[in-house]
Structure 1
Amino acid sequence: MPKAYKQRKREPYSYESMQNAVSSVMKGTYSIRKAAEMFNVNKSTLHDTIKKKYKNPGQPGRKTAIPPEVEHKIANALKEASKQGMGISRRQLLRRVGSLCKKMKIEVDQFKQQTPGKDWFVGFMKRHPTLSIRKPEKLATTRARMTNPAIVSKYFDDLGQILKNLGLLSKPACIWNCDETGKSFEHTPVKVIAEKGSKAVVGRTSSCRTNITLMACVNAAGGKMSPLFIVKGKTSRSLHGFNTLAAPQGTRWHYQANGWMNDDIGEKWFEDVFLMECGKERPQLLILDGHSSHESLSIIELAIQNDIHILSLPPHTTHALQPLDRCVFGPLNSAYNNECSNFLNQNPLNNINKWSFPGILAVAWETAVSKTNIQAGFQSCGIFPFNPSAVAPELLKPSIPSNKPKPLLSSADEISATTTLSEHSEVSSGPPLVSGPSVSSSSGPVSFTIVSSGVGSSLLPTVTPSTRQDLSINEAPEINESQDTISLVTPVDNMTTPPLADDPEMLLALINDGNIEVFTPDEEGTVEIHQSGIWDSAISDIFLPLQSVEPNKPADTKPRSKSSSHRLLTSEEILLEKQMMWQKKENHDIYFIVDDEYFILNKAPLQE
């Protein structure tokens, strides 16, 4: 448990209020006492600020162990890591903050073994109320990698062209989406009201875990086709016991050994359900995932004959690009769980089985598969109205860690220099300095190793302190008090030590070119940070996920499989490919269609 600190009661005030009070006193508008009353700030703090006892007055209370600006960068890195699907837990945060302090040579007396504890974490979360502990949803690595801007952009380019060529940009009733989902007799109990602090809150479920596959098909106008239920079984006897009359109107029933969709069932559904209920208007577009049962040769041939165009989504992207997954199946699961809980609570003897399942699902079907949810699904996926930017950027960010980084510059393109500063060094002509967060510095003698990267490199100049006898901090060159200062920082741990360069002229040239910076501590021995990019680099290395591909690894020039992207299954190329695959499997003659004419290819050795 964190320590319960008893805080003195103080009137809260903001940083802006203190700055306004200081400004009014400096301009002579108010006295210190009057300004404290007008802006509701502490009079003593205002007095000390004007007397420059505090350079950067902030919130009341003692200073944080880590500078506020650095904490803010850490908070932003935590948010970005969570968006990329690589979120950081509380324990990982404490360990990585300790690593950051060691890397940047920050000694914090409050940290035990240079690692923050629970007290610091509680304070950190209070200082950053936009952060909270969240339980992430599951996302497969393949989905995170495939849902990237390049694949999604190419998909929308082709989808827009298809809709334009077919004249369906203003015909939502002709744009369809189909997919399967599973429903188990054992549902997930809904949340209930119970005594606060109860250790065991239970909810009744069915003792049977039978799974039923549900095939749904909807269009962009909000219409829906009759569902298809697939039960587990090898004969029609597996359908016995189901109350088929209680199922949604027009429901088709079928059986399969595992209760899954296969090629035969997919062909029967397309012929008996889709073609019968899609309407007479042509052409029409059917968007679906790349499951093998959706790409059989019979379905493609039937679609071509009936002027139905089938577009297969890019693999592992249905959670972002498929309307049913986005806005229909989620509400359907919730409605099914609610209805199951209601049914079991009506009578202790009630149970979810073959007889009761169709009626329960029928209620959930009518509730969730509504016109509003269906239209919202097509709109959120950018299909209708057509909008390539409809997919939220947050859905694409998990692909960032798997993106290939740009190749690094060679070592010949980098400029590195190490020098020892003395009180006789001519560094007064250095560039102007900018203020930043403060870092405590030891008062003993130190020397400085300055590493500067060349033009175009992502690395920024860094300054490393090391104990030496030829210079102390107090002997640093004098700089105008109006100029602020930068801090002592360390390079990345795996960087090699640059060669020595003790030539003063070389050092002066580096300073004048802006490749290195000059700093000086204040009277209290505190050093201000100037190069925030150095902190950004260190925080990114520790808190943000690394890219999975090695920087120096050559680009993959191997052609990718066509099935790794979206495909128009009714195109001539895909049709011929499917026919050749079927001919290989069945050893039959094949035919293909060009300009509505059938061409038969007799049996002959196929050329690979």
Structure 2
Amino acid sequence: MLSASHFRDRVFRSQSAACNTSLFSHSHSRPGKYKPWDDDCMQKALQAVKLDGASVRKAAMEYGVPRSTLGDRVSGRVTHGILSGPPKYLSEEDEDELVRFILGCASVGYPKTRKEILSLVQTQVEKPISHGWWDSFCKRHPNLTFRTPAPLSIARATAVDEDAIGRYFDLLERTLEDNGLLEKPCQIFNMDETGMPLSPQSPKCVFTRGEKNPVNIDGGDKAQITVVACVSAAGYCIPPMVIWDRKKLSLELTAGEVPGTFYGLSDKGWMDQELFDACLSCHFLRYAPPTRPLL
């Protein structure tokens, strides 16, 4: 068994006695302007003026369309058939392709922000994109929604697949049976770590509506504080391990600690092989029950 002196400068034990614990943007937008007339009626009114010689006033009254709107089309100031509102910089085919690209990136863990999407669209058009285009784009594609993704390291994203998970549970079942642990919850422990990033929260990204677990794969190189918890199937808790992103441990970092907390230090607050070995040999075995085997 490795001794505490082996990890002399990287791990520290709490000075308080340990005790066991049982486990028990809302945005405002202007209302849209909808034309209160029918396209067919406007077309008939135009024909009445241009082909039959009717006055704009008479044709507007007969077909129930605004006189000024009809006048704009008769004079050529407005071309009939052109939609009002923010311009559609992309064709329907291009927009559909853009949506497939956005959702495709999100599905593999690399979602796009609003800013990234607008920058991409801007490279495909000559005129600057108006502020209203994005809102109109989202209305045309209601399957898109904003979510704040959870960060996921590349190592975790590439290490787990359906086959690996199946093999894990097969091995777990055999191990429990071979060691007679199926009905011994006091000897079965689960250890897990949670990283709390020190950098600002990930920006909101675009996902398909209804996505349950949106993630954003990163390089896993951002600083964080890591907390390692270990609990038996019977509810017996080993005091936690906390890993800080620094070279030295100051006393103020231990304020409000759980009695018996074990501390580790690393450059960016991540668990590594040496700290994991220290956690098992110098901390877990110190508080684990003496009965063997332990899983």
TM-score tier after normalising by the smaller chain length: 0.3 to 0.5
What TM-score do you get using the length of structure 1 for normalisation?
0.25
Greater RCO, 1 or 2 (C-alpha within 8 Å, sep 6+): 2
TM-score calculated relative to the size of structure 2 = 0.44
User: Which has the greater radius of gyration?
Assistant: 1
The structure carrying a bigger strand percent of its residues is 2
